[in-house]
């Protein structure tokens, strides 16, 4: 897959079959759309193109709205779209100036003159241009004028996309990895840099890597203990992760942390970028009466996690 952060670099593409959207999650609903443009491209000897935007429009238009959390970072989205078989991904910079383009300017200047769209696959409720003035009916009017075709994605499929996104976010915020992974059709991913921590875990027999997530817009699952796969230096391992405030150790003045205990692993990895792939949630985060009680619970967690890994591997 070719990735373009400057649309001027997008050129000499044969018969572009285009769709557009945020594609956050690249989940089961999105894959229906990707499969459709792939079918058309194969039948019409074209190439698939996804036009997406970054930053997310809400980040630009509503900068004081800090509730926005995305399922994927940009790096994750690129990887997932490549895995889905997309030929070309255009990541267009979303700015206030861009948001002021009229519907006809967006179609003429972006879709036609810069991308050279031959067929546009879009949803029945798709809106675009300044104040979201453009819609499917306008696209159908523009198509013959600018020599491209429009295909409407069935309402049911678009509803599935919306429902999937909503269900994924709600499931993650509740720690329901089974539902989230079902709609994603892959295990939820979290990437971060290993930073130095307090080393308390090491002192009680459970050394952990403390994770710093660079993207402040990245959705973090509900607090608790999870079974995960961990990718370190191109190698996959298993482990368990705690998301929360470590109340037994830190008391009431704790800061939220993400700590992963990697099974059968004893290397210094400060500064490494690691990837977590979430398999299942084990329990809520708890405050124990003593460090010894916490140690006993962690031992139980590890035993249960390793049992789940054995089932996963079988």
d(CA 3, CA 6): 9
Percent of the chain exceeding pLDDT 90 equals 70
Global pTM value: 0.90
- The first and second tokens of residue 203, run together, are 């002192």
16-46 pLDDT, tens digit each: 999 998 899 999 889 989 999 999 999 999 9
d(CA 278, CA 105): 43
pLDDT value of residue 253: 58
- Residue 108: count other Cβ atoms within 10 Å of its Cβ: 16
47-61 pLDDT, tens digit each: 999 999 999 888 888
191-242 pLDDT, tens digit each: 999 998 766 767 677 889 999 999 999 999 999 999 999 999 999 999 999 9
């Amino acid at each position: 897959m070719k990735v373009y952060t400057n649309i001027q670099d997008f050129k000499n593409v044969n018969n572009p079959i285009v769709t557009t959207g945020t594609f956050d999650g690249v989940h089961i609903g999105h894959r229906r759309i990707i499969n459709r443009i792939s079918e058309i491209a194969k039948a019409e000897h074209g190439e698939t193109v996804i036009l997406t935007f970054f930053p997310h429009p809400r980040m630009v238009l509503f900068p004081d709205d800090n509730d926005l959390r995305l399922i994927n970072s940009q790096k994750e989205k690129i990887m997932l779209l490549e895995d889905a078989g997309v030929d070309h991904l255009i990541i267009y910079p979303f700015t206030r100036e861009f948001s002021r383009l009229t519907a006809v300017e967006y179609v003429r200047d972006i879709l036609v003159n810069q991308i050279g769209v031959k067929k546009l696959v879009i949803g029945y409720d798709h809106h675009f241009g300044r104040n979201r003035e453009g819609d499917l009916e306008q696209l159908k009017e523009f198509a013959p004028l600018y020599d491209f075709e429009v295909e409407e994605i069935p309402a049911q499929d678009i509803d599935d996309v919306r429902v999937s996104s909503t269900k994924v976010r709600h499931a993650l915020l509740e720690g329901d990895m089974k539902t989230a992974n079902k709609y994603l059709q892959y295990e939820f991913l979290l990437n971060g840099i290993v930073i130095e921590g307090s080393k308390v875990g090491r002192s009680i027999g459970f050394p952990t890597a403390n994770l710093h997530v660079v993207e402040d817009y990245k959705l973090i699952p509900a607090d608790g203990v999870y079974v995960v796969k961990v990718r370190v230096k191109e190698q996959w391992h298993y482990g368990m992760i705690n998301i929360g405030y470590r109340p037994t150790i830190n008391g009431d003045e704790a800061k939220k942390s993400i700590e992963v205990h990697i099974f059968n692993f004893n290397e210094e990895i400060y500064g490494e970028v690691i990837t977590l792939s979430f398999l299942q949630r084990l329990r809520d985060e708890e405050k124990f009466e003593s460090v010894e009680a916490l140690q006993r619970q962690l031992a139980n967690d590890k035993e249960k996690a390793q049992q789940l890994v054995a089932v996963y591997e079988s």
